[in-house]
Structure formats: structure tokens, C-alpha cells
Amino acid sequence: MTAQPFLLVGSYTPPLGSGSGITTFARDAVSGALQLRSEYLLESPSYLAAHPSLPLVYAVSEAEHGLVSTFEITPDGRLVLRGQVSSGGAGPCHCAVTADGEHLLVSNYGDGTVAVLPVDRRGNAGSPLAVVTRHGSGPDPDRQEAPHPHLALDLRDGTFLVADLGTDEVARYRIDAAGPARLVETVMLPPGTGPRQVAALARPSAGDDRDDALVVVGELGSNLTYLPHGIHSAEAEKSATAAQGPVGPGGTRTYPAHLEVAPGGDVLYLSNRGADCVSAFAVDDDGLRFVARVRVGAWPRHFAVVGSFLYVAAERGNAIDLVHSDHRSGSLEHLGEAARVNSPACILPITL
């Protein structure tokens, strides 16, 4: 029986947007075309994550009292609710399942906490076993008045990184089954950077004594910061690249959002709100090099790389845009809208 590829879209619902919840599409692997399969009404599921081995999806509801929902996805693409638990904080905006499938990491942007939820053998997320309370602030009075963790990245060694937009920090924590997650180390970014996301670049030639390089998305600084020695990078080793690539005088202010490493690791893709484009950067030994960018729908918050396609959630354009990409050269071509969806915030490809 042929595996069925789906595309799940989480959308902002009122008052944050005009969407309805989670929309499931059947995806044509050759053409990239989408066909509506089902909708599940849920409050502002702004981020979705898949279990590494089970047909399960986790959704965070970005609300004052944050929720995490566990869903089973049926062979025809319908979602069946397994359960709901607290996110451990307010305004969760991101979640990630650890590679071993044993924990769910939830970033609560609203109150500056990061929660570690246990995941049982059936894949159900339980109530938080640890909640990290972040501290600090940054120079931007509107966006950095307090901690605002925006992403937690599993490093597959029992630790995870937190990108904190409010404090200009990327911090590393260790998961401790016997108690709270423990802070291991922190790297400071230049004031006003506003770290939103962080991605690891595997460096097989770096040797055992050096961490993978990291790339940090600075939402407020509108840049990408390259950390060649990972979180151990010294101040002098940090280099920033303009998020949308070169622009002329008086260019549109851009708020970079989602970063993803292309298959093969040679290219990075980055969505830019305001400038409403997706940029491509080549990964060189010395850092990042701008390659290309392509215009997409309004306010591209998130995207997913699926084969040679990028599915882009144009939040204010109320659409899923389709972009063809070359993961070696970084070239990009906008193919048009693949579907209309109100206030799309996150896209999750899944194959059963």
C-alpha cells in the first residue's frame, strides 16, 4: 500500500487571526498540489510537531493558559484528539519532540518559561515534569521587556538549546529525569538581536573537540548570526548576515521568522516578514553567503521543506505558497498559491 503524504497547517484563530484550527491536505509528491481533506477546530495552534515514529501530532495553543494537544492522524488524514495538558506557561509558540520520543519541549513566549513534558510509550504528552523560568531583558522596550523564549532545539545528547528573543541569549539546558532542567551554559548575542530560532549545522570534519556550528535568527536585528564553534563561540567569532540579503537604501524593514537547513546541509532557507520573501544562503567553511531570494505572500511566518518544494505559510496573505528550490545551488522559483487558508502559522508535512 502506497504511503500517503499529508500537509497539516496550524492557523491563528480569533482574536489572533481568522483561521479555524488545523487543516489537513493530501499532498501530491510530484506536482506539489494540495487537496483539502479535513479541518479540526482548535484555538490558535501556532506550532505543530510530529512524533518521530508514531502517527501522532502535537499542537500548542497560543493562549494565556497554554495547552498542548496530542492527536492521532488516521490513514485518511483526520485528526483524533488523544488528550490535552497544560503547556506549563502562557502563550506557547513552539514545541519539539526529542529524537528519542520521550520528551516534548515547549517554549512559552508569553511568560518566559520553557516546559519539559514527558511522552509515554503510546506517545501521549503528559503534564510538565519540569518548567524552566527564564530571567533577564534586552534594550528593546516593546519586545525585550522580559524573557521571551521562542524555540527549544533538541541536541540529541540529553540537552537542548533555547533561543530567547527577550534576553538576547541562546542557552543550553540538560534534561534531568529526577528534577528540573539544569542550565549548562549561555552565549550572549549583540544587544537588540532578538534570537527567534537557532539551527545546528553538522560539522563532521570539525573533530570531537568542537561543537556543531550554530546559526541564530535575529528577529529584531533582522540578521543571521553564525557561531562557528556553537555555543562556545567567542565574541570575536560571531558574524552577522542580513536576513533578506543585500537591499538598497530605504529598504523595507524585515522581521525574519523561520530558518531551515536544506537536505544535504549545503543551503539554509529563511522566511522574512515585511520584505515578504524567502532567502537562500550557502553554507561555506567561513560562514553564510547570500545566494538568492524570491517574493512570496504577505508575512511568511513559517515554511516546510518537502522534496524540492517549499510550502510557505503567508499569514497575512491567507495562503500557502509553493516555491521550487534547488538544495545545491539555493535557487528559488515561486510557483504560486497551493491553497487558501486563513492566518496560517505553521506547516507540518507528514507521511503515514
Alpha-carbon 281 to chain mean position? 17
Position of cell 535568527? 217
Residue partners of 24: CB distance under 8 A and separation at least 6: 6, 7, 8, 9, 36, 37, 38, 39, 40, 73, 77, 78, 79
Residue 290 Cα distances to 91, 218, 279, 282, 336, angstroms: 33, 16, 8, 6, 23
DSSP characters over 281-347:
EEEETTEEEEEEEEE-SSSEEEEEEETTEEEEEETTTTEEEEEEE-TTT--EEEEEEEEE-SSEEEE
Separation between Cα atoms, residue 62 and residue 59, nearest integer Å: 9
Tens digit of pLDDT for each residue in 153-208? 999 889 999 999 999 999 999 998 766 789 999 999 999 999 999 999 975 444 44
pLDDT in tens, the chain (352 residues): 567 899 999 999 999 999 999 999 999 999 999 999 999 999 999 999 999 999 999 999 999 999 999 999 999 999 999 999 999 999 999 999 999 999 999 999 999 999 999 999 999 999 999 999 999 999 999 999 999 999 999 998 899 999 999 999 999 999 987 667 899 999 999 999 999 999 999 754 444 444 689 999 999 999 999 999 889 888 777 888 999 888 766 677 899 999 999 999 999 999 999 999 999 999 987 789 999 999 999 999 999 999 999 999 999 999 999 999 999 999 999 999 999 999 999 999 999 8
Position of cell 530571567? 135
Separation between Cα atoms, residue 119 and residue 123, nearest integer Å: 5
Separation between Cα atoms, residue 130 and residue 152, nearest integer Å: 14
Alpha-carbon 103 to chain mean position? 17
- Smallest CA-to-CA distance from 60 within 44, 72, 73 is with 44
Number of H helices, E strands in the chain: 0, 28
Residue 25 Cα distances to 265, 316, 319, angstroms: 28, 20, 13
- On whether the CB atoms of residues 282 and 326 are closer than 8 A, the answer is no
Name the region of 88 (left: φ>0; alpha: ψ -120 to 50; beta: rest): left
The grid coordinates of residue 149 equal: 523564549
- Smallest CA-to-CA distance from 271 within 286, 284, 281, 283 is with 281
